[in-house]
């Protein structure tokens, strides 16, 4: 897997959604943490890892509807099985919030922590809508809960 290293930014690096899938497929200890809000999981969908025999861990980085950072974020990561030796891949809507999550995990000694570039549905495209890039656009499995 080719990673865009980001140690100066405080985390292991950036990966594409497809590279994240490959890491999860090839390393049974790797964990995918979707850091979007509960509302996003419910209305937009979540990565479906059943083909790999596991599920994405859903841990809000910021809380809906206030936008406040989740004060239990690191505790919830640990409860999800993330340790000092667990490769952890963070995913958000467009690859921005997941950078903060990767930095926080790294600062806490967890990981290595990676950020999924373009996230679950990417930035707004020329048509004013999301979904042209990221996890779903790459054709990776996802489900609407």
Domain assignment of residue 52, given as a range: 13-140
Residue 2 lies in a domain: no
- Model confidence band, residue 127 (pLDDT cutoffs 50, 70, 90): confident
To which residue do tokens 């020329």 refer? 126
Q: Which pair of structure tokens corresponds to residue 98?
A: 């997941």
pLDDT at 5: 58
Task: Give how many domains the chain has, as a whole number.
Answer: 1
Please write the tens of the pLDDT for every residue from 103-122: 999 999 999 999 999 999 98
Q: Which pair of structure tokens corresponds to residue 32?
A: 């995918």
pLDDT at 6: 67
Residue 4 lies in a domain: no
Domain CATH code at residue 42: 3.40.250.10
Question: Count of residues for the chain?
Answer: 145
Residue 7 lies in a domain: no
Please write the tens of the pLDDT for every residue from 44-98: 999 999 999 999 999 999 998 898 999 999 999 999 999 999 999 999 999 889 9
List C-alpha distances in Å: 87 to 45, 94, 105, 136: 23, 20, 11, 22
């Amino acid at each position: 897997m080719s990673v865009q290293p980001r140690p100066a930014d405080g985390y292991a690096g950036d990966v594409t959604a497809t590279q994240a899938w490959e890491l999860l497929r090839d390393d049974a200890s790797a964990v995918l943490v979707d850091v979007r809000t509960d509302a996003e999981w419910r209305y937009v969908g979540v990565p479906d890892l059943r083909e790999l025999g596991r599920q994405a861990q859903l841990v809000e980085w910021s809380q809906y509807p206030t936008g406040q950072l989740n004060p239990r974020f690191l505790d919830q990561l640990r409860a999800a099985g993330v340790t000092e030796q667990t490769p952890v891949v963070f995913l958000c809507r467009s690859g921005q919030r997941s950078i903060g999550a990767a930095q926080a995990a790294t600062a806490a000694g967890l990981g290595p922590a990676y950020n999924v570039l373009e996230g679950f549905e990417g930035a707004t495209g020329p048509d004013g809508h999301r979904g042209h890039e990221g996890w779903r656009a790459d054709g990776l499995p996802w489900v609407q809960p």
